[in-house]
Amino acid sequence: MALQQQTRTSLRAAIANSGAFKELKGLLEMNSVGVASATFSVAAEAANNIDTTIQCKDEFGNNVAGVRSLDINIVGQSGGTGFNANTYTVSATTGAVVEVVASKVLRVLTNSTGQAVIRLTNAGAVTCYLALVLPNGSQTVSAAIAHT
């Protein structure tokens, strides 16, 4: 009889906490189809423009399918810190830049293959990096984007 009571108590506790289980399940499902990392490919400068291709990856390193919303910072250091002091004209040749704050913080939508190409334009000799903020709060940073 004591075992049955203990089982009932455990079941009641599990049911009472089902919201937490549902939330955890939702987070796990979101992460399984979310952006876990990204690759960057920085093109050569042409007419003051440098295009950087960002390809979103899942936790297995596969390209992410579907449009994704990305938060990207234009930073001055390879470690992803320090907003860059320069001003850039920002556009997208693949995907869409939907918001730019002070030429430093971007909200970008990828295309249906999880890819975006960000074009930074600057006539001066300046260097910056793109720092993609991942859903878990960490970031991944591009190679140097150097205008000459």
12 falls in which pLDDT band (50, 70, 90)? low
Nearest CA among 91, 98, 95, 99 for reference residue 122: 91
Q: Could you tell me the two tokens for 78?
A: 């390879």
83 falls in which pLDDT band (50, 70, 90)? confident
**Residues 79-117, buried b or exposed e (16+ Cβ, 10 A)?**
ebeebbebebebebeebebeebeebbebebebeeebbbb
Q: How far apart are CA 74 and CA 106, in angstroms?
A: 8
Whole-number average pLDDT of the chain: 85
- Beta-bridge partners for 49: 46, 121
Strand, helix or coil at 63?
strand
Q: Which of 46-50, 81-85, 128-132 has the lowest mean pLDDT?
A: 81-85
pLDDT tens digits, residue range 47-72? Answer: 999 999 999 999 889 999 899 999 99
Residue type, 60: F
Q: What is the predicted pLDDT for the residue at 32?
A: 46
